[in-house]
Each structure stands twice: as C-alpha cells, then as structure tokens.
Structure 1
Amino acid sequence: MQTNKKYKYEKIKYCFLVFFTIIPLFCVILDLLFSTIQPDPQYGDSTKNFDFSIINQSIYFSVWIALSTSVYGILNWINCHTKNMPTWITGKNNLTHIATLNLGTFIVFNLTMIISPNNIVGFNTWYKILKSILEHILVPIIVIFYYFFFRQINISTNQYFKKYCWYNLIVISIYLFYVSLRVIMLMNFLPPEQEAFTAFPYDQLNPYKIGWILFFLGITAFLVSTILISTLLNFLSNLIKKSVKKNPNNP
C-alpha cells in the first residue's frame, strides 16, 4: 500500500516537471514567433525583423524566469530517469530559487495589474495576453504549490540566510549585467541617426526618466526583496514539513 502511494507521488511529481519544462518554453516561443507574424502595435512593424523579435524576448526578466523554470523542469525530468544529476540542480536550494523568481514575478505583475494596469508591458494582443496569464499567473501558482507539496530537506532559516540565499541573485545578476551592457553599447556605439530598439525594457527603471537615485534604490530593493522572499519560502517549507512529519500517510 505504501509502495503504491509512493509510486503515485512520483508520477504526480513527474507530471509537474513536464509542465515546468513545456509551458514556460511554449510562452517564450509563442511570443517570439507571433511578434514577427502579428507585431505588437506598441512597436509598429519593428519585430517583423526576427532579430528584433529575439531582442524583444531577451530584454525582459520574465522571459529569463520562464527559461530558468523550463531548464529546471527538463533537468529534473531527466533526473527522474537517470538519477545522476548533482544536488545543486535537484536539491532544495535550486527549487527555492525557481520558486522565488516565480513568486516575485507573480507579485509584481498582479500588483501592477491592480494599481496601474496601463503600465503592464505587452498586454495588447491575444498571444501576449495568453503568454502573460500563463507566465505570470498560472505557472507561478503551480510552482509554489509544487514547492510546498513536494517537501525537501530542512535547512534552518539562519543557515539558509548565511549560506544559500545568494543563489537567488545569480540569474538576476546575469540579467542586470546583460541589460546594462546592452544599454551602454547602444548609447556609445549606435549611430546618432539610428534609434535603439527598446533600450530600456522597463520605463520604471530607466535612470534617464526617473533619475539615478531612484534607479539604484529600485535595483537595491529588487535584490533585497529577492533574498527576503527566498528566505521566507525556505522558512515556510520547514514549518510545513515539520507539521506533517508525524503523519505516517505522507510519502
């Protein structure tokens, strides 16, 4: 009986990993292709140039989160068959990282939708609406459910904050470096008569519009909130695991 429950538990987990692999990647490919076929009116016909369509994907952090989630899904999907992936891929810290990114985008997107819906980027074509709902609402909810349902090892809050919270800044740091380098190169080497294609992906973090003080405060708040969210998720997962530990029916 216990073996049968364990088998069902693993099958359900497997289905989640397939979902994480396919759906976020589907969102990115959908937007990439249809931005070329049916361009977003916000950019006119710019993304009919497929290169611009690729750039339009690469400059938004939600796309990086989607790809990170998809990579997590496929690597752990493979691990279900091979059982030879390193623990930094299959372990709790990596899952906390993916859950943190998804919860962050869920919070930002939905708060913006409530407070200032006109500032939502790319919510004016059918494919972008579909992508946004999947990428910013459905996938994060499923990821958070997975994070708490499929319990991992306990890592104390103190230990996590001291040793592992920086994991959550890796993708963010690479993204900020990429976007910053792109802006620097555009501003210094693009001929004056040419206009850059979406130099700043988010107007709210454009230092030339909001000022450098608010820009650096925003980046700092972004990094600090990421660490706090990841630490909170780890803490809550420990609580949940502790509360069900004595239940013999849990796999």
Structure 2
Amino acid sequence: MQQVKPRFLKIKYCFYVIFAIIPLFCVLLDLFFSTIQPDPQYGDATRNFDFSIINQSIYLSVWVALTTTSYGILNWIHYHTKSMPKWITGKNNLTRITTLNVISFIVFNTTLLIAPTNVVGFNTWYKILKSVLEHMLIPIVVIIYYFLFTTASIPTKQYCKKYSWYNLILIMFYLCYVSIRGTMLVKFMPKDQKAFTPFPYDQLNPFEVGFPIFFVGIISLLVIAVSLAIVLNYLSNLRNKKGCIPLNTD
C-alpha cells in the first residue's frame, strides 16, 4: 500500500473542518438573521423564533447541510481518536453524503439558471451568502474530497444490492416529516388562520399539483438518489482501477 505523506493527512483534516463548520454556519446564519432581519417573502413571521426554526426544518438543503456537518464532526473526532465505526467513516456513508450534496447542487443551480424567480431564499444578503456556501461551494468541495481520498472499491452489482438503499434514509425521513406536517396543517388548521409555509416547494404540495404528480415527483427523487449514488460509486471504482490519486489515509 502506498505510504501516505503527512501533508495529505493535513489536507484531509482540513476537509473535515470545512464539512463540520461551514454547513452549520449556514444554517445558524439563516436561523438567527431570519429573526433579526426577516425575509420579505414571509413578512415579519420569522421574527417569531419558533417560525424561524420551522423555516429551517422544512427545506431538504438544511437537512443535507446538517448531515454534512455531522459527517465532518464525527470524522474529525475519528481523525484524532480512531473510535468511530466503519459505517460512519467508510465509503458508503461518504457516497451518501456526496449524493445528497450533488442533488442539492443540481436542483438549486438548475433552478437558478432556468427560473431564478422561483429560487427560495435568494433575496437578502445573509440568504445569498448561505445559498452560495450551501448549494455551490460545499457540494463542490465534497465532490473533490470524494474523488481525492476514497480508495475502497465496491463492485457495482454488490453496491446496488447491499448499499444503495443507504441513500434513501435521509430523504425518506425528510419526505415523511414534510408531508405529515403539511397535510396536518392543510386539513386541521382553522379556516380563519393561515399556516406558516405548509409545504416548502410547490412540487411537494399535493393539494396544488395533485396527488399523482406528487407521488411521481417523490418516486423520481428516490430513483435519482439511488442512480446517482451508483454512478458515483462506479466512477470511484474506475478511478481506482486507473490508478488516479490512490490516497488511502485510513
């Protein structure tokens, strides 16, 4: 096995610090400044700190950011203690994190190019900063890290059968949370009161787009997540086979 030079270990450490700090910074920045300087889209609603918290919890990108932060913190700890299990530090978990960040990157930036007026949270300085860091910078850094340091090779067929479902865990929890919350608000909120953002995206509002389109959208998202993870794993295997940057720092 190739001996890893100390500078590569330091580079890996820097990636962990970035993953641990920047996504969490983005979430906290938006959380507190939404209370101090509310987004005009919601009027003064987020001056209520509870609403500001809700406003964070209903977006998939925030879940992805917090997941990335958790990955960074746990691997940062593992860097010093070597105490974390393989399912946290191994390739499959990193493939999951990378897949989620790539989806966030593609959805946000495609929307920004095609229909910029439909982009949520791009109208105040702190939301612009958050969006640039969360949807542009961090996904690119994660992709670079994935192909720079991941050296374990998992055959595509084995990955499809045994590990591809890992990429559905966070998305399924998120969809259940948003769907149950939104449905309860629409069905049981008093008619004389207005619910605070029942559904974060129009595409996730079955009462607007219809349930057939709603379910087609959900299934498409799940298929994309699994397919993208399989492609990433395959490309990583291909990178290993060609002998490109085989840096194993475990």
| Number of the residue aligned with 1:84 | 83
Q: Structure 1 pair 121/248, CA: closer, same or farther in 2 (3 Å)? A: closer
C-alpha offsets along residues 228-251 of structure 1, whole Å, 9 cap, x if unaligned?
A: 000000000011111116x89987
Q: Structure 1 pair 199/10, CA: closer, same or farther in 2 (3 Å)? A: same
Asked whether the 8 Å contact 2:149–2:246 carries over to 1, the reply is: no
Show the 5 A alignment for 1:42-81.
42-81=41-80
CA distance in 1, matches of 2:156, 2:246: 26
| Number of the residue aligned with 2:180 | 181
| Number of the residue aligned with 1:41 | 40
What runs of 5+ residues in structure 1 fail to find an aligned partner? none
CA distance in 2, matches of 1:151, 1:241: 9
Equivalent residue letter for 1:11 = K
Structure-1-length-normalised TM-score: 0.95
The alignment partner of 2:217 has SS state of helix
Asked whether the 8 Å contact 1:91–1:152 carries over to 2, the reply is: no
Equivalent residue letter for 2:75 = N
What runs of 5+ residues in structure 2 fail to find an aligned partner? none
Asked whether the 8 Å contact 2:27–2:56 carries over to 1, the reply is: yes
CA distance in 2, matches of 1:250, 1:95: 14
Asked whether the 8 Å contact 1:244–1:250 carries over to 2, the reply is: no
The alignment partner of 2:240 has SS state of helix
| Number of the residue aligned with 1:167 | 166
| Number of the residue aligned with 2:93 | 94
Asked whether the 8 Å contact 2:16–2:72 carries over to 1, the reply is: yes
Structure-2-length-normalised TM-score: 0.95
Asked whether the 8 Å contact 2:149–2:247 carries over to 1, the reply is: no
CA distance in 2, matches of 1:73, 1:169: 20
Compute the displacement of 1:210 (Å): 1.4
Between the aligned residues of both structures, percent identity stands at: 65
CA distance in 2, matches of 1:249, 1:45: 50
Compute the displacement of 1:204 (Å): 2.3
CA distance in 2, matches of 1:102, 1:188: 33
Equivalent residue letter for 1:116 = A
C-alpha offsets along residues 34-71 of structure 1, whole Å, 9 cap, x if unaligned?
A: 00000000000000000000000000000000000000
Asked whether the 8 Å contact 2:122–2:131 carries over to 1, the reply is: yes
Asked whether the 8 Å contact 1:36–1:47 carries over to 2, the reply is: yes
CA distance in 2, matches of 1:79, 1:125: 37
Equivalent residue letter for 2:94 = L
The alignment partner of 1:195 has SS state of coil
The alignment partner of 1:194 has SS state of coil
Asked whether the 8 Å contact 1:109–1:120 carries over to 2, the reply is: yes
Equivalent residue letter for 1:191 = P
| Number of the residue aligned with 2:199 | 200
How many residue pairs are counted as aligned between the two chains?
A: 248
The alignment partner of 1:39 has SS state of coil
Show the 5 A alignment for 1:123-142.
123-142=122-141
| Number of the residue aligned with 2:119 | 120
Q: Structure 1 pair 13/41, CA: closer, same or farther in 2 (3 Å)? A: same
CA distance in 1, matches of 2:161, 2:151: 19
Higher deviation after alignment, 181-190 or 199-208? 181-190
C-alpha offsets along residues 92-146 of structure 1, whole Å, 9 cap, x if unaligned?
A: 0000000000001111111111111111001000000000000000000000000
Compute the displacement of 1:207 (Å): 1.4
| Number of the residue aligned with 2:155 | 156
| Number of the residue aligned with 1:236 | 235
Equivalent residue letter for 2:82 = K
Equivalent residue letter for 1:22 = I
RMSD: 1.6
Q: Structure 1 pair 50/118, CA: closer, same or farther in 2 (3 Å)? A: same
CA distance in 2, matches of 1:29, 1:164: 32
C-alpha offsets along residues 172-230 of structure 1, whole Å, 9 cap, x if unaligned?
A: 01101111121232234322211100001001221122111111111110000000000
